[in-house]
A and B are shown apart, each in its own frame.
Chain A
Amino acid sequence: DQQVKQNSPSLSVQEGRISILNCDYTNSMFDYFLWYKKYPAEGPTFLISISSIKDKNEDGRFTVFLNKSAKHLSLHIVPSQPGDSAVYFCAASVGNTPLVFGKGTRLSVIA
């Protein structure tokens, strides 16, 4: 039973446009959500996080939105750049506990 789901295995976006990556979760106890970016042969790199007391967090080109009633979060990247091409993982936890990851979405930004 997957507690964190990323239903789109891949996404292609033109350079300069918005990339929207989606994530759904089933465990209503999750109170901390993170997005990681992963390049081949490297470990995941932390991008941005949000706690359940907020519904939006922004950091430069990256914004994470949390909809608790729908158990849904999304990552918006604006504008998308070719260097953003990577696999993006959504992760969630209950407090300071191990993260539960989705399977990832491969983003390709086309120049």
Chain B
Amino acid sequence: GAGVSQSPRYKVAKRGQDVALRCDPISGHVSLFWYQQALGQGPEFLTYFQNEAQLDKSGLPSDRFFAERPEGSVSTLKIQRTQQEDSAVYLCASSLIRDRGLYEQYFGPGTRLTVT
């Protein structure tokens, strides 16, 4: 079946511009996660949804970052007034809660954001 898809794959923004990154999770997956990956680092957690409820946004680096999942499927990560330090790959992952709470997160290809 179809995996997690993200768009756009690449985005170049001028400093100060707003950007919106989209994630289409695997159909039926309850949980959706956003991660940020800087060059040479592992992915770092940004925010997490269970259906349409945003359960944890403790990883969002500033109030310029905002995420939503209004109908419990597609999610959008918005960054306002982009700064150079926002340049990174933004990864979306979805998961299906299985028996005994075991699950795997399946990742999309990511959106590489470059702020100039």
Contact = CB atoms under 8 A, between A and B. Distances in A.
State which size class the interface on A falls in: 20 to 34
B91 interface: yes
B45 A99 contact: yes
A96 B102 CA distance: 8
A101 B103 CA distance: 16
Contacts of B59: 98
Contacts of A103: 40-42
Contact of B4 (A4, A43, A98): A43
Nearest to B108: A43
A34 to B, nearest CB: 7
A98 B48 contact: yes
Given A43-B4, A43-B91, A43-B109, A96 B103 contact: yes
Contacts of A4: 42
Greatest chain A CB density within 10 A among B4, B31, B43 is at: B43
Interface string B35-59: 1000011111100100000001001
Interface in B18-74: 31, 33, 35, 40-45, 48, 56, 59
A49 B48 contact: no
A30 interface: no
11 contacts: A32-B101, A36-B107, A42-B109, A43-B6, A46-B105, A49-B102, A89-B42, A97-B48, A98-B48, A101-B44, A103-B41
Contacts of B93: 43
Contact of B106 (A46, A49, A51): A46
Nearest to B30: A96
A45 interface: yes
A87 to B, nearest CB: 9
B40 A101 contact: no
A96 B104 contact: no
A43 B108 CA distance: 5
